[in-house]
Amino acid sequence: MISTKRPRVFATDLDGTFIPLDGDNESKAALEQIRGQLATGDVPFAYVSGRHLEYIFEGIVEDGLPIPDYILCDVGTSVYENTVKGSNRQNGLDNAPTQETLATSFRRSDDFDARLDRIVGDTDIERVRREIGDFPKFRLQEKFKQGRHKLSYYVPAESLDECTASVRTYLDEHSLPYGIISSVDPFNGDGLVDVLPKDVSKAFALNWWGESQGYQNDEIVFCGDSGNDHAALVAGYRAVVVGNASRTLAASVHDAHEKANWNDRLYLADRSSTAGVLDGLRWFGLVDANNAAASEAEQSLARHWGAVPTGFQSTRFSVFAPAHEKLSIELFDDGSSEPCATNAGVSRCIEMIRDSDGFFTANVTPCRVGTQYRIAFDSSSTDLAPEPPSIPDPASRYQPEGVNGVSEVVGNQFPWQHDDQRRANRVEEMIIYELHLGAFTAEGTFLSAIDRLDELVDLGVTAIELMPIAQCPGRWNWGYDATYWFAPMSSLGTPDDLRRLVDAAHARGLHVFLDVVYNHLGPEGNYWSMLGKYFSDRHGTPWGAAPNFDDGPEAAAIRRFVIDNAIYWLDEFHLDGLRVDAIHCMKDDSEEHITRQFGREVRQWSHANNRRIWLIAETNVYDASMTAPLEEDGCGFDAQWGDDFAHALLACVRAHDQLTVRRYQPHVDLARALHRGFVFQGDVRGDRGREEISVATAKRVDTSSVVYCIQNHDFIGNHPLGQRFHQITAPETQASAAALLILSPAIPMLFMGEEFACEHPFSFFVDFGDESLRQAVVEGRQREYPQHDWSGGMLPTEEAAFDSARIGRAEDGNLAMRNWYRDIIRVRKQHVDSGLLCVNHCTTVTDGDRGVYALKFSRDDEHLFVVCRLAEATSGSRPQDDAMHEHELAKLLGVTGGLPPRILDSRKVVNESFDDAFRLHPNHAVAFAST
């Protein structure tokens, strides 16, 4: 429901809202600005407070509050009118008011009293006041806090619910026309019980006042902070919830507005008390922004691309199109302006203003959240001969009809509730769970994913990593063909649905990381070359056009486009970190590579906003510069993917399966990966290859900043049948490998469904509409991985490829495997918390002839030994199926006097019977630990 009326009246709660909080200098300055602007008398305003009249006068005198036109007080049971409205507003600025001068200015409303009298009828109010005051634990409040229609009591705060219930019973038994409002005084902790005429509240009084003055609800801006403001905040007024309000209240108000389809009546302030009120009044246009504030707002908008709401039904548009001299915005709404002659479905055309750098901007009012639009070309202003004549916004925040449809203005007002919930803050605590939102649940949406979060918490992971969610063509996609980097994919839900998912994850102590792709843009719905030199003539990728990071004046803007997009996801969706896809394919010949500028500017933003942000690079091979500190000329990332671990491990158990173009040697390379931390190394400039260095002399890198896995989306999807690790090996092999993964001194990452040995494949899938692109994908996959026989698998363009990828329910999978994963994760957390499981306490022992790989963590008399034995399933392949006895293993580990107690044994996963006499079999893992 959209209102065309503009706000013109101001009403506010006092305590916690309009009165500055103690020590809040920002709010004190805001109060002075509001006082000055209200002194003109152009904006009628009222106080709506639970305070009694004298206490409000005290606030005006002592806190310097401006003198209002009306006072609605005593929890909505009294209304007073300022009889000298215009004059004492300016006088309040020039001369300090007193209690006496205020008392002579305000007159109680007889009409409102008569309205309440009709509610209570002939009830003996004083008898009711006395009888409730005689209840156990009740104490009548002071006489000046009582009112003609307000019965007020103190009760112990710890007995508030009990006391409220006793009054409710009394009122019901006597059929009295009264209701109850109870609360705890935030200043002294007293329990407060107010008995008021039935249905009377601050909202009731505000509604009566608005009607008596001829104001519509949507013409009034009401500001509040607490539960007794809730009814007014959801009554249809323009509502401002200040930043210090409880997040539960903010969420309740937000949800009520959303349910009522009011998408332009709520402002959720970031700042507290009076500063938040000032921001809300500016948003709704009741007060002007001063020059400093306007300048600050412009600076904050400088990093915003696309359509950004800037105030009540106002939106700022920004497009980078250096190839053009003229651009317009086509608006699809019922607003009034010049109709657009080129398209009968367009209601308005707004010409944009070009600056010298090729950026076009337009500030449009009215233009509400939900307005749909496109960017229109003027064919006379360019040599590119644009076709089609209009396109979506390259920085669109939402594409409800897909990559070729209209763009939509999206709001960013959201009541974040759980940002302060503790989450892992050390790399050693990180256990990542990679998932594809479309295949994670049957519904495949942001909201449905919330229902599985408790399952992940129970498993023990500490972070979820979302495969890319930016808008791609069609109904489903792996996510790596996005053409709208700022828009969450509409088939997964709305931007607010994504925010709900992130907030729900935070409530459970889970980090949320997002996989972002900056090395190319997808081919379908990609119009950006029509705007200017968005793409590189020097560099390319196998997947699509490479962004122009290093050629000509446009390159600086494209670099900004990438970095600002990253900050957008972190800022507007409160994501905890980003995994940057194929960072080695972000080709750039500039002096400062884009990856370093990316790390530097994201760090600057995170420090300025007091946010702990995690940056993870997918580097293909180990790149020491990625995690080197910025001050050492590194990129300042927290971690990088270490694919060598997964592929070297696979070579031990399936030597003939190569799921990457790099060749890994069985056993030799896994030993190298464990001893050294990697097998291949390189950097973003292109120097990449196998490091030929003796394991015996190699110095281990700090693997606490390396992400290990035994399978991920690429690992599975690059298999021609999309098969998972346990399907191309065996469940016992996965159980053994999982122990080595999760108990390594690195960051372990699981792929969705791995923990219960999901039997569903995860083949590559796309839903391109263009038939030539569909065929190109099929041929490209075969060309990129020529080592595979692709004849037996599903085509990535088949709907079945997506449908079969849904992982299903955990309870339908291998529960023994899931319990095994939980046990390993529990042991990891226990030894990370104790400080034993870390790189500095780890040594590796390997025996390639027998396929044994061991991690020894030792500190003084504390020990944790993790031993994994891996073998090909094919008969006759090395190592032979000869069980190792305990004394053999102790000798290999260099342990005298016997091994510590065995705390984990992977044989339980396959329910094999085994006795207490320990033997280490192929594809078998155990862990020993001292107490």
User: Active-site residue numbers?
Assistant: 581, 618
- Sign of the CA dihedral 530, 533, 535, 537? positive
Pairing of strands 353-354, 577-580: unpaired
Amino acid identity for residue 366 in this structure? P
Q: Which residue from 475, 470, 573 is spatially nearest to 521, judged by alpha carbons? A: 470
Say which residues have a Cβ less than 8 Å from residue 803's Cβ, sequence separation at least 6. none
Give CA–CA dist 372/279, Å, rounded.
26
Q: Which residue from 499, 413, 75 is spatially nearest to 241, judged by alpha carbons? A: 413
Q: Which residue from 701, 811, 700 is spatially nearest to 755, judged by alpha carbons? A: 811
Burial of 177 (0-12, 13-18, 19+ CB in 10 A): middle
Instruction: Tell me the H-state helices in 786-923.
Output: 799-803, 815-834, 886-893
Pairing of strands 919-920, 884-885: antiparallel
Give CA–CA dist 380/644, Å, rounded.
54
- Sign of the CA dihedral 74, 75, 79, 82? positive
Q: Which residue from 165, 162, 167 is spatially nearest to 152, judged by alpha carbons? A: 167
Q: Which residues pair with 45 in a beta bridge?
A: 10
Token code pair at residue 425: 């803050």
Cis peptide before 366 (omega within 30 of 0): yes
Under DSSP, the state recorded for 17 is I
**DSSP string covering 164-185:** HHHHHHHHHHTT-SEEEEEEE-
Token code pair at residue 703: 């693997």
The answer to whether 403 and 528 are in contact (CB under 8 A) is: no
Q: Which residues pair with 108 in a beta bridge?
A: 80
Give CA–CA dist 682/690, Å, rounded.
9
